[in-house]
Amino acid sequence: MNYPDNKIYKVLYARFLEKRKPEQFFKYVGDIKEKVVLDLCCGSGRLGLYAINNGAKKVILYDKERNMLDSRTLIALESGDSNFSLYLDDI
């Protein structure tokens, strides 16, 4: 299933996240070193990318749309790191 107009969703999503930084979220979660992080409805994937770059043992991204992912997240996924994975499907 595709979003009706992906460009609009990306703009709205970007506006929503402008003031929300991954480090703010993980401040409430606590230490993620050597933990498995599951990001449901991952959108751009930036929380997962932040987690893997800050010591998470494994990160699993789950979303229904690959084209919502940020280019940095796509590069990380394509690097072949088995500890950083993406599953595409409806939840």
**Chain centroid to CA 27:** 17
pTM listed for this prediction: 0.75
Separation in Å, CA 62 to CA 1, 19, 25, 45: 14, 23, 18, 9
- Tokens standing for residue 63: 């979303």
Burial bucket for residue 91 (CB in 10 Å: 0-12, 13-18, 19+): exposed
* pLDDT tens-place string over residues 47-84: 899 999 999 999 999 998 888 888 888 888 898 889 99
